[in-house]
Amino acid sequence: MQKTASQAPGLHRASLRKLHELDTALELMYYGWRGMTLAADQYLATVGLSRPHHRILYVIARRPDISIGSLIEVLGISKQALNRPLGLLLERKLVAAKRSPEQHRSKLLHLTAAGRRIEQRASDHEREVLREAFDRVGAPGTAAWMAVMGVIADNN
Would residue 74 count as lying in a domain? yes
What confidence tens digit (pLDDT) does each residue in 1-55 have? 444 444 555 556 667 788 999 998 999 999 999 999 999 999 999 999 999 999 9
What confidence tens digit (pLDDT) does each residue in 101-143 have? 887 778 999 999 999 999 999 999 999 999 999 999 999 999 9
Would residue 149 count as lying in a domain? yes
Q: Cβ contacts of residue 49 below 8 Å, gap of 6+?
A: 88, 118
Would residue 37 count as lying in a domain? yes
Question: Domain holding 52: CATH number?
Answer: 1.10.10.10
Q: The domain containing residue 97 runs over which residues?
A: 22-154
Would residue 8 count as lying in a domain? no
Q: Contact at 8 Å (CB) between 59 and 71? A: yes
Total domains present in the chain: 1
Would residue 16 count as lying in a domain? no
Would residue 3 count as lying in a domain? no
Q: What is the pLDDT of residue 154?
A: 92
Would residue 14 count as lying in a domain? no
pTM: 0.86
